[in-house]
Amino acid sequence: MSGGEQPKTLAGWLAYLESLHPKGQSGIELGLERVACIKEALGQKPYCPLIIVGGTNGKGSTCAYLEAIYTFAGYRVGCYTSPHLLDYNERVRIDGVPIDDASLCTAFARVEAARQTAGDVALTYFEFGTLAAWEVFSVHEVDVLILEVGLGGRLDAVNVYDADCAIVTGVALDHTDWLGDSRASIGFEKAGIYRAGKTALCADPDAPQSLIDHAQLLNADLQLLGRDFGYFGDKTQWAFWGRNQLRRGGLANPALRGKCQLRNASVVLAAIESLKDTLPVSMQAIRRGLLELDVPGRFQVLPGRPAVVLDVAHNPQAVAGLVDNLGDMGFFEKTIAVVGMLGDKDIAGALAPLAGKVDVWLLATLDVPRGAPVTMLAGVVANAKLGGRVECFASPDLAFDCAAKLAGENDRILVFGSFYTVAAVMRAVKDRR
């Protein structure tokens, strides 16, 4: 765009962002040098408490709890997450509301001007968006910032900012081409968001030693699930415990489903406790924040029959959690799975927990640069002997159309495998209605 006219619309800006870097929207290029350069050119400085959330699974839910609780507490909350499902604006929210197109376009223009001044630096789609989100939040003078790591932690664009409180929700194998093929290497990468003297939380019940060692080397204030904070309870209510004999009891179970949600909620309360001197929060705000939220695509059950379950689970740990949740739903005559995945995922490991639990596999190609061809998915289902009939489709929406025709009112349609898969089906459902 050097010397040319800037885009006028959000769609124009997003198309431009994809063209800036040879890897495009889905491209990954880890490293902080480019982002730090533009951050400096923009003059971005810390101006309010910042929480950064990383981890293999549970980042989105954890951000949502923090966002809701602080909003109910009366603070102006900026929250940046990724990827989005239907609209880019979902990534940049203030008090839970996606930001408007005009504010995003203004922020993109500022980042572009700084990028040009710095020598036409080739930012990735995610890097550009991260810098622009900070610009939006700065203009709106938010009281607390919540930033979700895109990939890993140490070299992720979000890590160019220094967290007052950094959370690692858990450590499992994913993105192994970038982060390493062991929990030790991945734990080290995720611990990169910790800072010296600042609160460093980990909600993994078996935190890798590499994460612990890195936090200790930094002299961060490391708090571990089960050692420094935790939870106990039953199917009706739960209690949180933390340092200095802290107890918060009589809490209703979180609105989001799944056994992992108590871990997520616990680390959220530990984070809130660590920032209480700067951002005091009432128990009423905590109770409302845990109950009054809805995160699309996280074991989202659509109203009506047949039952339709949408879940962005795409790695073995997340799908295992999904299977646990499915087991709590009760009896269904038939389960039909609509699946599309990225080719760089552990497809065999992700599908394995569903062995013998799916009657019909409707597999789909994802038409994105990293999308797995449907033949790859079909090969995994066959080779792993997962059971069930298999049909192949060119896209998730076509697979879902078939599922809707096959399913009776006592059946269940499960849509999972990728944000792209869930987004395509959400659009299809929206068009039907």
Based on the fold, state whether residues 267 and 387 are members of the same structural domain.
no
Nearest to 228 by CA among 252, 204, 193: 204
- Cβ count near 371 (within 10 Å): 21
- What gap in Å lies between CA 18 and CA 26, rounded to an integer? 9
Based on the fold, state whether residues 347 and 381 are members of the same structural domain.
yes
In this structure, is residue 4 part of a structural domain?
A: no
Based on the fold, state whether residues 282 and 363 are members of the same structural domain.
no
Please tell me the predicted confidence (pLDDT) of residue 1. Answer: 55
Chain Cα centroid distance, residue 273: 23
- What gap in Å lies between CA 340 and CA 207, rounded to an integer? 31
- What gap in Å lies between CA 346 and CA 352, rounded to an integer? 10
- What gap in Å lies between CA 156 and CA 180, rounded to an integer? 15
Q: Where in the sequence is the domain holding 359, given as residue range(s)?
A: 300-432
In this structure, is residue 420 part of a structural domain?
A: yes
Of the residues 291, 312, 329, the one at which a domain ends: 291
Please tell me the predicted confidence (pLDDT) of residue 25. Answer: 46
In this structure, is residue 3 part of a structural domain?
A: no
Of the residues 291, 316, 347, the one at which a domain ends: 291
Please tell me the predicted confidence (pLDDT) of residue 152. Answer: 77
- What gap in Å lies between CA 29 and CA 27, rounded to an integer? 7
Long-range contacts of 320-328 (CB under 8 A, 24+ apart): 320/353, 321/57, 321/258, 321/259, 321/260, 322/353, 322/416, 323/353, 323/354, 323/357, 324/258, 324/259, 325/257, 325/258, 325/299, 326/357, 326/412, 326/414, 328/257
**What distances in angstroms separate CA 428 from CA 89, 372, 395, 411, one per listed residue?**
20, 21, 11, 19
Segments in 219-351 forming alpha helices (H): 260-274, 283-291, 316-327, 347-351
Based on the fold, state whether residues 117 and 137 are members of the same structural domain.
yes
Q: What is the CATH number of the domain that holds 176?
A: 3.40.1190.10
Based on the fold, state whether residues 135 and 36 are members of the same structural domain.
yes
In this structure, is residue 2 part of a structural domain?
A: no
Based on the fold, state whether residues 270 and 345 are members of the same structural domain.
no
Based on the fold, state whether residues 231 and 380 are members of the same structural domain.
no
Based on the fold, state whether residues 69 and 202 are members of the same structural domain.
yes
Based on the fold, state whether residues 278 and 166 are members of the same structural domain.
yes
In this structure, is residue 343 part of a structural domain?
A: yes
Asked if 222 and 212 touch (Cβ cutoff 8 Å), the reply is yes
| Residue matched to tokens 């039909």 | 336
Please tell me the pTM assigned to this model.
0.90
Asked if 215 and 222 touch (Cβ cutoff 8 Å), the reply is yes
Q: What is the CATH number of the domain that holds 381?
A: 3.90.190.20
- What gap in Å lies between CA 320 and CA 326, rounded to an integer? 10
Based on the fold, state whether residues 253 and 280 are members of the same structural domain.
yes
Q: How confident is the prediction along the chain (433 residues), in pLDDT tens digits per residue? A: 545 688 989 999 999 998 876 554 445 666 688 999 999 999 999 999 999 999 988 899 999 999 999 999 999 999 999 999 999 999 999 999 999 999 999 999 999 999 999 888 888 899 999 999 999 999 999 999 999 998 778 888 999 999 999 999 988 766 556 566 688 888 988 999 999 999 999 999 999 999 999 999 999 999 999 999 999 987 788 999 999 889 998 898 888 877 788 999 999 999 999 999 999 999 999 999 999 987 888 889 998 899 999 999 988 988 998 998 898 888 999 999 999 999 888 899 999 999 999 999 999 999 888 899 999 999 999 999 999 999 999 999 999 999 999 999 999 999 999 999 999 999 988 877 6
Count structural domains, the chain.
2
Based on the fold, state whether residues 327 and 240 are members of the same structural domain.
no
In this structure, is residue 329 part of a structural domain?
A: yes
Of the residues 234, 269, 291, the one at which a domain ends: 291
Please tell me the predicted confidence (pLDDT) of residue 150. Answer: 87
In this structure, is residue 203 part of a structural domain?
A: yes
Please tell me the predicted confidence (pLDDT) of residue 258. Answer: 74
Please tell me the predicted confidence (pLDDT) of residue 24. Answer: 45
Based on the fold, state whether residues 47 and 116 are members of the same structural domain.
yes
Chain Cα centroid distance, residue 81: 6
In this structure, is residue 326 part of a structural domain?
A: yes
